[in-house]
Structure 1
């Protein structure tokens, strides 16, 4: 497909997993009705600050599980490709035909799954960079490594829309990961996120635009955007950025969607005229 419409879903998820799923369902339907062929959910779309993530975690590929069953059904129902934000998984990715290992230390893998139009999983990326930082907000300290085990694999997958590179939230601050995706010829990169309001106001847009410009690709940032509880507030401003760094659509706060058309011939022409890929020295 030459010109395809894509969408990012913005949510204000809570600790109520069933309410979050209902909101995601409504917003996915809205994106599909707007003509989106690929839809991206935000990080932690199903549950945000609901206690230990392991209580909601599933085994990869368990379509009887609440989360993966829902996501698979949504992709099939709307005939879309779905980048499912992140969900907690109890298993590490299986490799070379070896069964996936089960995590046993109480932590989970924060995984971004990609579902095809038939509801099958075609890719999995586990968040590589964990957010262990201090921020000048009410929560003050974030320690993802207490609950999550980091991934270690760069993931690119061909979809019906574009060659897709996968990242998650804090990964946005690590340009070397995006360069690896560029080296793998990614045309579109997804960034499901839950950026804090403080760090988002300072860095979210400039980082999304920089990653798009320097890697000559489209970038979709699907964020959480609002007040989740007395301590947690996220920045929102979900947006779609083109390879020239232009913001094609943005939603500041609250639930909703952003939608844009991607133009792969224009992307390839830009890469031809300004061949950054072949000019690399390092």
Structure 2
């Protein structure tokens, strides 16, 4: 599989973000890519929730999703939209942080709503409540593609290995982790956690990330990665926005799993812990 990773600095104009992704679709196709991968919140990234409320739409009205589906069909390439903010008809008014796998026909093959939401009370007295705006997903999703079964996740999900165990138990050999990591947590944990997920699952990890200074003032870590099942980083985009092509040899999965058969040796752990 030839993958194209599009490391973005998404802003607060959905139309401009759509233009950038559509251009990346064309560039990826010209480079012989089979699949284009984008980061979390590829279509709109804004921590001003009042302003965002004026632009976040339902899936059916989402300009980024519509244009990317059209571009995928025109180019004949698969696209993984890391995630978009999607409004819904929920009674509580919360949105979904939704990932899309789009076929080369433009058809949506799979959707995944981010399960784990970042809620934290800071030592400074402030707090951040992702769950105040977004509703958590309920379903673990793996999708079959012509190259591999891929397990879907988004950003903060990375810290919860049970999700990736469920995905690898379901036969996923590629784990997708689109993200918009902050710089402090990226410096501390990004490479370590992604390599651990690859090693545990004996699977490739493709983690396409946001990078740089954004229009809403935040700074993201970048370092979009492709990691092989042994835990080796085979691509690291650093902190520069742009497109990178990466050739992935799926035979590597069987090779690593034969050398360290952790998947075959897994046992189901009881939920109740015996205290001695």
The TM-score, its normalising length taken from structure 1, stands at: 0.87
5 Å matches for 1:62-211? 62=60, 65-91=62-88, 102-133=89-120, 141-211=127-197
For the 8 Å contact 1:194–1:234, the answer to whether it is kept is yes
Which segment is superposed worse, 24-33 or 69-78? Answer: 24-33
Contact 1:133 1:143 in 2 (8 A): yes
Residue 213 (1) aligns with residue 211 (2)? no
Question: What does residue 271 of structure 1 align with?
Answer: 257
Matched with 1:5 is 2
Question: How many Å separate the matches in 2 of 1:230 and 1:203?
Answer: 24
| Superimposed CA distance per residue, residues 225-268 of structure 1 (whole angstroms, 9 cap, x where no aligned partner) | 00114641100001111111111111111321232222122211
Cα distance in 2 for residues equivalent to 1:136 and 1:189? 33
8 Å CA contact 2:229–2:252 kept in 1: the answer is no
Instruction: Give SS of 1:86's match.
Output: strand
How far the C-alpha of 1:219 sits from its partner, in A, is 0.6
User: Contact conserved, 2:44 with 2:85, CA < 8 A, in 1?
Assistant: no
* Partner residue, 1:20: 17
Whole-Å separation in 2 of the counterparts to 1:221 and 1:121: 20
Moved more, 223-232 or 213-222: 223-232
**Aligned counterpart, 2:274:** none
How far, CA to CA, are the matches of 1:230 and 1:86 in structure 2?
18
**1:173–1:115 Cα change, 3 Å:** same
Count of residues in Structure 1 that have an aligned counterpart in Structure 2: 265
Whether contact under 8 Å (1:115, 1:122) holds in the other structure is yes
SS at match of 1:243: coil
What are the Cα deviations for residues 17-44 of structure 1, in whole angstroms up to 9, with x where unaligned? 1121112222232222222101111111
Q: How far, CA to CA, are the matches of 2:55 and 2:142 in structure 1? A: 27
Distance 1:55 1:230 in 2: 15
259, 263, 277: which one aligns with 2:245: 259
* TM-score (structure 2 length as normaliser): 0.89
* Residue 46 of structure 1 pairs with residue 43 of structure 2: yes
Q: Which runs of 5+ in 2 are unaligned?
A: 270-276
Q: Gapped runs of 5+ residues in structure 1?
A: 92-101
Task: Determine if contact 1:168/1:192 at 8 Å carries over to the other structure.
Answer: yes
Structure 1 pair 35–182 and aligned structure 2 pair: CA distance change class (3 A): same
Is the contact made by 1:250 and 1:258 (CA closer than 8 Å) also made in structure 2?
no
